[in-house]
Amino acid sequence: ERVKKKESVAESLRITNIHLERAEHLSYSLEEECTRWRGQLQTAERQLNNLLGDSLILSFIVGYAGNLSENSRNELINQWKKLLSRFNISYSENEGELYGLEVGKLELQRWNECKYYVQNALVTKYTNKWPLYIDPCNVALKEALRLPSGHSIIHSSDLEFGAKLRSSLSEGSACIIKDFNFDFPSEFANLFQRNLYEKVRVFVGLIGIPKMRKDVRVKLGTTVMEEVAVGSKFALYLHSQDMTFPQMDDKINAISYNLTKEALYLKLREEIMKKMDKDFAEKLDQVVRQMEKMSEEVNAKIRNVLLVFIESKDSMLENDRLIASLK
């Protein structure tokens, strides 16, 4: 009996030591997390307070500012801010917070320091129209934007234009139309005017239970219209280096990609760096991409830790997953 009691005390002591070690580690980790969470809470409160004003500014940019030059856009945004101040509507003075709410770094391939291109990425992301990149220096597709994976490129003069566009529709892949000039085949009028609609289909599943599925459709043709299913990931991106158009369509959102001072500086910096030390420039680009990836992983781990905290409740010291997450 004494042996059993001794073993029980030894086991209790071992568990207590483990709990003590974990408690010390947990206390140290939570102290660091508390500081960071306090900062995040202050930022969240500030963003919540500025939500209405920020939403109005971003709505203006997405809805009306796409085709404006940098100077015209800045002038109108400043007028918009004055109007908000007049009605005592607060907004984020820090543009990093204003745009950072919506545009992650992965929206842009590079040049995240160029405010004008960040705004353009916002327009691309949230417009309910097909974006038309007016891009005289050809920087949008080559330098600025991170294009969707698996995208296809079709030139307006391509003899197989119709067949390739139909293929992108059915496959549900992003499609970039180069040298766009509004002179597209009339059978695709509904597509370019974004006259898409949902159609509900009812079918019987494997176990005999009826199911409903919504498909996006578009009607193609001239005299005889054909209903065509649109793949879930289909998107249309229009691109032109021509700055003059005889007409514009209200279902297309023109986005200007003029080469701004910021973009020119960043472009020259990259080119000079490549000329001076090509290996270093390539390593720098790899490091930047790696940092972006690591940032995503860190944010995912933080969310995971918070979920574990919620699940643990009163049994934090017994939760091996929680302790492992904090290491």
Residue 302 tokens read as 């933080």
**One-letter amino acid for residue 97 of the chain:** E
Q: Which residue has the tokens 């920020």?
A: 54
Architecture of domain 1-127: Up-down Bundle (1.20)
Helix axes 278-312, 261-276, angle to 10 degrees: 120
Q: Which residue has the tokens 């003590």?
A: 20
Nearest to 325 by CA among 310, 21, 308: 308
What percent of the chain shows pLDDT beyond 70?
Answer: 73
User: What letters, b where the CB count within 10 A reaches 16 and e where it falls short, cover 242-264?
Assistant: eeeeeeebeebbbbbbebbebbe
Domain ranges of the chain: 1-127, 131-259, 277-326
pLDDT in tens, 208-231: 677 777 888 999 998 889 999 898
- Span of 11-25, 46-60, 246-260 with lowest mean pLDDT: 11-25
Write down the pLDDT at residue 106: 43
pLDDT in tens, 153-198: 999 999 999 999 999 998 888 899 999 988 889 999 999 989 998 8
Residues 305 and 15: their CA atoms lie apart, in Å, by 23
**Between 312 and 237, whose confidence is greater?**
237
Decide if pLDDT at 76 tops 90: yes
pLDDT in tens, 248-305: 667 788 999 888 888 888 878 878 888 888 888 788 778 877 876 777 777 777 667 6
R_g of the chain computed on alpha carbons? 27
Write down the pLDDT at residue 214: 82
Q: How far is CA 74 from CA 115, 131, 227, in A?
A: 10, 21, 43
Helix axes 115-126, 51-64, angle to 10 degrees: 80
Its pTM stands at 0.73
Name the pLDDT band for 84 (thresholds 50, 70, 90): very high
**One-letter amino acid for residue 249 of the chain:** D
| Residues sharing a CB contact under 8 Å with residue 249, sequence separation 6 or more, in sequence order | 182, 192, 193
Alpha helices in 51-188, H assignment, sequence order = 51-64, 70-86, 95-100, 115-126, 161-171
Q: Three-state SS for 13? A: helix
pLDDT in tens, 100-135: 655 554 456 566 678 888 888 888 888 889 999 999
Write down the pLDDT at residue 279: 87
8 A C-beta contact, residue 86 and residue 62: no
Could you please state the CATH topology (level 3) that the domain comprising 131-259 is classified under: Rossmann fold (3.40.50)
